[in-house]
Chains A and B, each alone.
Chain A
Amino acid sequence: MTARHWIPALLCLGALALATPTHLAAGPTAPPSEPLVFETPEQEARYQKLVRELRCTVCQNQNLIESNAPLASDLRRQISLMVKDGAETGEVVDYMVARYGDFVLFRPPVNRTTYLLWYGPVILLVLGLSVLGLVLWRRKSRVTSAPLSADEEERLRRLLDEDRGGQA
């Protein structure tokens, strides 16, 4: 590669490094975490479920296990301590919701503010299906014509006969 190629490439990399928002996820880098040891496999499973269902509030689109943010690692440590102390899943979730609100839940609770979120898609589906049904029903009713009158019957029979005669 010539200088003409790699200088823009370097500039792009530099811009990327600068553009990374540092203040939001900022914090001292998390210390390397020691491996977690749980007394029972059941505790371990509960911990794993929790860190996957709770959202990292700093990075927002990651759960606690995926996130490298220092806050996420603090929260993971906190949850592991609670689980080791024998806290039930619900207790840990309540602890988190009390501090960070419903936002920490990847599966939001069903309440007055989330009715639309939970039932909206079903309502939309029902609405869409009924519109589709209405359109199809209207189209069908338009195509079905009135029964032929006696005159028309007679004419149709004659035409069919003629046709058959021509073929023979």
Chain B
Amino acid sequence: MKLRFVLPLVAFFALVGLLWVGLSLDPRALPSPLIGREAPQFDLPELRDPETRFSSEQMLGTPALLNVWASWCVTCRQEHPMLAELRRAGVPVYGLNYKDTRSDALRFLTQFGDPYDAIGFDESGLVGIDWGVYATPETFLMDRNGMIRFKHIGMITPDVIQNEILPLYRKLEAES
């Protein structure tokens, strides 16, 4: 007879647990299928110097960040100082300027500063599709062999830098 009371109680708590987990997940955080795989290759015109090219191969050799941004993206504006911070910490920061116009993007850099080692100008957004970009800003961390090891969607915060990007970057740096 005890079962009669215990069973509904167990069912109730199971449901509460399930909803608790389900509702605390962030539906916008899509796990990237690219993590642990080789970064998609690209060869784009450099944003600041259209005569030169910026290809994915240039990021090989050391661990590096690729930050996808655009001048129309409000969050990118807020995130921008964080990239300079990472640059100061010694992390190579590359940019992928996504679906932007050259003049807007250049104005953005004059206004907010330019922490990038090189910026690919992805006007059509095709390279963005290859990288599975769906909402700017998105930031990828690659190891020296060009393998994607980490992806952050949305704004990089000081917290993300301290707890996620820098520790992983140091670890990748130490890897031979």
Contacts and interface: CB of A to CB of B under 8 A. Distances in A.
Nearest to B132: A99
A164 to B, nearest CB: 44
Interface residues of A, number: 21
Interface string A97-122: 11111110000000000000000000
A101 B132 CA distance: 9
Nearest to A29: B72
B160 interface: no
A101 B134 contact: no
Given A23-B75, A74-B125, A100 B70 contact: no
B30 A100 contact: yes
Given A27-B99, A57-B134, A75-B129, A101 B73 contact: no
Contacts of B27: 60
B57 interface: no
Contact of B99 (A23, A70, A100, A103): A70
A136 interface: no
Interface in A117-168: none
Given A74-B125, A74-B129, A78-B129, A100 B33 contact: yes
A100 B153 CA distance: 13
Contacts of A23: 73-75
A100 B73 contact: no
A57 B128 CA distance: 13
Contacts of A27: 70, 72-73, 99, 136
Given A75-B129, A101-B32, A101-B33, A28 B134 contact: no
Contacts of A75: 129
A58 B136 CA distance: 10
Contact of A28 (B33, B72, B130): B72
A102 B132 CA distance: 12
Contacts of B130: 99
B72 A100 contact: no
Interface string B111-132: 0000000000000111011111
Nearest to B131: A99
Contacts of B75: 23
Given A26-B74, A101-B33, A58 B135 contact: yes
Interface in A65-101: 70-71, 74-75, 78, 97-101
19 contacts: A24-B135, A26-B135, A27-B73, A28-B72, A28-B100, A57-B30, A57-B134, A58-B135, A60-B28, A70-B99, A71-B133, A74-B126, A74-B128, A78-B126, A99-B34, A99-B129, A101-B30, A101-B33, A101-B132
Given A23-B74, A99-B129, 9 more contacts: A23-B73, A26-B74, A27-B70, A27-B136, A57-B30, A71-B134, A75-B129, A101-B30, A101-B31
A-B pairs with lowest CB-CB distance, top 9: A57-B134, A99-B132, A101-B33, A23-B74, A23-B75, A103-B30, A100-B132, A74-B125, A58-B134
